[in-house]
Amino acid sequence: MHKLKDTAILPITTSAPFWYKRVADATLVISLAILAVWGSRFFAPSLAQSLLLEVPPYSVVLATLGVVASILTHFVQHNWFMKILSALSYLLALATLGIIIFDAGTIQTPYTGLWLIMSLLVGIFGFAGVGFLLLVDTAYAVYLILYLQVNEETLVLFGLLFVLPVVISYLIWRHNSPHEAEREKEQAYSALAKELSQVTNKSEIVINAIGDGVIAVDSKGIIQLANPAALQITGWGKQDALELDYRSVFKLTDKNDKVPDETADPVQTVLRNNTPVKTKDFSLTTNAGKKINLSLLVSPAGQIGTGAIIVFRNISDEVSENTQKAEFISTASHEMRTPVAAIEGYLGLALNPSTATIDDKAKIFLTKAHESAQHLGRLFQDLLDITKAEDGRMTNNPSIIDVVNFSRDITTTFLQTAKTKDVVLIFQPDTNPTSANLTPIYYANVDPDHFREVLSNLIENGIKYTKQGDVVVDVTGDDTHVVVSVKDTGIGIPAEDVSHLFQKFYRVDNSDTREIGGTGLGLYLSRRLVETMAGRIWVESEYGKGSTFFIQLERIAADEALRHMEESAPTPIIAHSNPNNAKP
């Protein structure tokens, strides 16, 4: 929307009616004064004679009419009537004075002063009024020159008393006359109206050109606008859809094929809370009864109670493509994992001195092959887990775990790996012999497999990205949360990479990491798993100095944990890590 031109905003301080009434007031005073002078011949004839204030009968009639017009100006409401009456009263007063002056045969009468006042007011009627009065003045000047043959002095006086006030009036009122102000106001309004209609047209063009469906509903959910894409997606005609309740046109169902109730309906939620809702959890049943997957964004139209704007897109193709892709990855990973596991197993057997005898050179080659087979196996496992997490097949079987003990068990499984890399792996709660008693018991109700997977990933990364130094696993917390941290003194993460670290396939690409193998899936999967556990994962890192990864889970109070355990198992068992399931 471009800026409105400056002319659209006018400094109109006093309205036109105000000035029309003031003109009427002035002419009323002048007309009454003339009538008073005329009347004075009856009450004080000597005074009237001595002042040479002769008023001809025509003028009396005109002055009376002028009085009536002036008074009427105050009683009409409409601007135009007011303007006409005000101009009429002005003309009548002008005619009254003109006749008197003309009759007097000289411009040197007291009435010339009144004419001068009238001349100063003429600018209020704009250019037309000024032009008219100048014409009258010119005609009178011609009369003075031709018929009365006045001298130059009188002509100069005429110019000063008759013409100059008109010019001054024009200059004074040029910008401020109500006539001018009204004209400018009208211009401004028409410019504004033009501007608005252009803006409306533009918005309409834009809304119609949008490929996504756009439906605007009022606060009661009645459809006020639907663009062609919305009509095409829903299969409704424009005239049929407008003014209908959106639920008749925009038939949503949730993932369980149920019509959402008031609290779950995204449009109702926006109308109620006035905060936008973005979701892909709903399907739409078209007018022809076909079901399509939707990407949906509902935003408030303004203040609460104004309405909502629904923007939606048919993502059925995307969804089926993603499902097919996920199915392919899942099947391929599953199928390939089996032979890779077999290769890994046989290589293990070949490397085991009790099952095979090989020379040193072959041992080096087979060790490398064994490592690669393990890596491949992990990659397939990660891919499988990710497809599960993404298509909603990821199971979540929470049970109560003692986080300190559980983390200790997992850490222990990495001691050997750490040792081969010159890295000291420390489980912080065990560093102080008395701390075992001091560390509180932190219970959490989470899926033990998910937790193991995440912590293993972090410890494995800590060791992998530390050439030499320490990796410290610690468990802290407060009344409501437990935080497990994995701190290393490794290569650290550049600040610009930190925000992307938990994205799929993201790897920091620099000279430090190029040599270190990886898939960029571990942290992404960890984030998905932590989210499944209703927790939080984040990292604090200083490039070149080391990183600390944190997992925050909800802490369960001891009595509640015991109650849970009693409910879920006949013999209370605190889940412990099963080292066989952990990653090497």
Is residue 539 within 8 A of residue 550, CB to CB? The reply is yes
Nearest to 281 by CA among 336, 319, 331, 225: 319
Least distance from ligand ADP to the Cβ atom of residue 396, Å: 21
Q: How many C-alpha atoms does 522 have within 13 Å on its Cβ side?
A: 21
Which one among 69, 270, 508, 561 touches ligand ADP, defined by CB under 6 A? 508
Q: How many Å apart are CA 393 and CA 379, to the nearest integer? A: 19
Between 30 and 508, whose beta carbon lies closer to ligand ADP? Answer: 508
Least distance from ligand ADP to the Cβ atom of residue 501, Å: 5
Q: How many Å apart are CA 257 and CA 261, to the nearest integer? A: 12
Least distance from ligand ADP to the Cβ atom of residue 463, Å: 9
Q: Report CA-CA distances (Å) from 395 to 380, 449, 450, 532, 533.
A: 18, 10, 9, 9, 11
Which one among 313, 452, 507, 527 touches ligand ADP, defined by CB under 6 A? 507
Backbone angles phi, psi at 126, to 5 degrees: 75, -160
| Residue with the two structure tokens 């600390």 | 548
Between 114 and 455, whose beta carbon lies closer to ligand ADP? Answer: 455
Between 317 and 542, whose beta carbon lies closer to ligand ADP? Answer: 542
Which one among 22, 520, 538, 576 touches ligand ADP, defined by CB under 6 A? 520
Least distance from ligand ADP to the Cβ atom of residue 507, Å: 3
| Residue with the two structure tokens 């092959």 | 369
Q: What is the largest CA-CA distance in the chain?
A: 154
Between 313 and 507, whose beta carbon lies closer to ligand ADP? Answer: 507
| Residue with the two structure tokens 């995307």 | 318
Q: How many residues bind ligand ADP (CB under 6 A)?
A: 21
Which one among 521, 529, 537, 575 touches ligand ADP, defined by CB under 6 A? 521
Least distance from ligand ADP to the Cβ atom of residue 457, Å: 6
Q: How many Å apart are CA 562 and CA 568, to the nearest integer? A: 10
- The H or E element spanning position 338 is helix 316-351
Between 83 and 464, whose beta carbon lies closer to ligand ADP? Answer: 464
Between 83 and 487, whose beta carbon lies closer to ligand ADP? Answer: 487
Is residue 179 within 8 A of residue 19, CB to CB? The reply is no
Q: Is 222 left (phi over 0), alpha (psi -120 to 50) or beta?
A: beta
Least distance from ligand ADP to the Cβ atom of residue 464, Å: 6
- Three-class SS of residue 57? helix
- Does residue 501 interact with ligand ADP by CB under 6 A? yes
In the range 522-561, which residues lie near ligand ADP by CB under 6 A?
Answer: 522-524, 547
Least distance from ligand ADP to the Cβ atom of residue 548, Å: 9
Q: Is 289 left (phi over 0), alpha (psi -120 to 50) or beta?
A: left
| Residue with the two structure tokens 């609460």 | 304
Between 137 and 382, whose beta carbon lies closer to ligand ADP? Answer: 382
Least distance from ligand ADP to the Cβ atom of residue 521, Å: 6
**Strand 469-477 and strand 423-427: pairing?**
parallel
Which one among 61, 394, 518, 554 touches ligand ADP, defined by CB under 6 A? 518
Which residues touch 440 (CB under 8 Å, ≥6 apart)?
477
Nearest to 255 by CA among 279, 283, 234: 283
Helix-, strand-, coil-residue percentages of the chain, each rounded to 5: 55, 15, 30
Between 311 and 523, whose beta carbon lies closer to ligand ADP? Answer: 523
- How far is CA 583 from its chain centroid? 46
What six digits make up the tokens of 350? 């070949």
Between 174 and 514, whose beta carbon lies closer to ligand ADP? Answer: 514
Least distance from ligand ADP to the Cβ atom of residue 540, Å: 11
Between 222 and 329, whose beta carbon lies closer to ligand ADP? Answer: 329
Least distance from ligand ADP to the Cβ atom of residue 538, Å: 12
Least distance from ligand ADP to the Cβ atom of residue 506, Å: 6
- Does residue 488 interact with ligand ADP by CB under 6 A? yes
Least distance from ligand ADP to the Cβ atom of residue 503, Å: 9
Between 86 and 485, whose beta carbon lies closer to ligand ADP? Answer: 485
Least distance from ligand ADP to the Cβ atom of residue 340, Å: 17
> Residue by residue, what is the 3-state secondary structure of 180-214?
HHHHHHHHHHHHHHHHHHHHHHHHHHHHHHCCCEE
Task: Find the part of the chain contacting ligand ADP (CB under 6 A) among 116-124, 236-244, 340-348, 486-494.
Answer: 486-494
Task: Find the part of the chain contacting ligand ADP (CB under 6 A) among 66-74, 109-117, 228-236, 507-515.
Answer: 507-515
Task: Find the part of the chain contacting ligand ADP (CB under 6 A) among 13-21, 213-221, 502-510, 556-564.
Answer: 502-510
Residue 532, number of CB atoms within 10 A of its CB: 17
Between 348 and 469, whose beta carbon lies closer to ligand ADP? Answer: 469
Closest residue by beta carbon to ligand ADP: 518
Q: Report CA-CA distances (Å) from 451 to 249, 260, 348, 485.
A: 45, 34, 28, 13
Q: If you ran DSSP here, which 8-state letter would residue 2 be given?
A: P
- The H or E element spanning position 538 is strand 536-542
Between 285 and 532, whose beta carbon lies closer to ligand ADP? Answer: 532
Q: How many Å apart are CA 138 and CA 469, to the nearest integer? A: 108
Least distance from ligand ADP to the Cβ atom of residue 274, Å: 39
Residue 275 identity (one-letter amino acid): T
Is residue 484 within 8 A of residue 550, CB to CB? The reply is yes
Between 188 and 501, whose beta carbon lies closer to ligand ADP? Answer: 501
Between 312 and 524, whose beta carbon lies closer to ligand ADP? Answer: 524
Least distance from ligand ADP to the Cβ atom of residue 427, Å: 17
Which one among 454, 491, 575, 582 touches ligand ADP, defined by CB under 6 A? 491
Task: Find the part of the chain contacting ligand ADP (CB under 6 A) among 85-93, 105-113, 318-326, 499-507.
Answer: 499-507
Site mask, ligand ADP, residues 444-473, x = CB under 6 A? -------------x---xx--x--------
Contact positions vs ligand ADP (CB under 6 A): 457, 461-462, 465, 488, 490-491, 493, 501, 506-508, 513, 518-524, 547
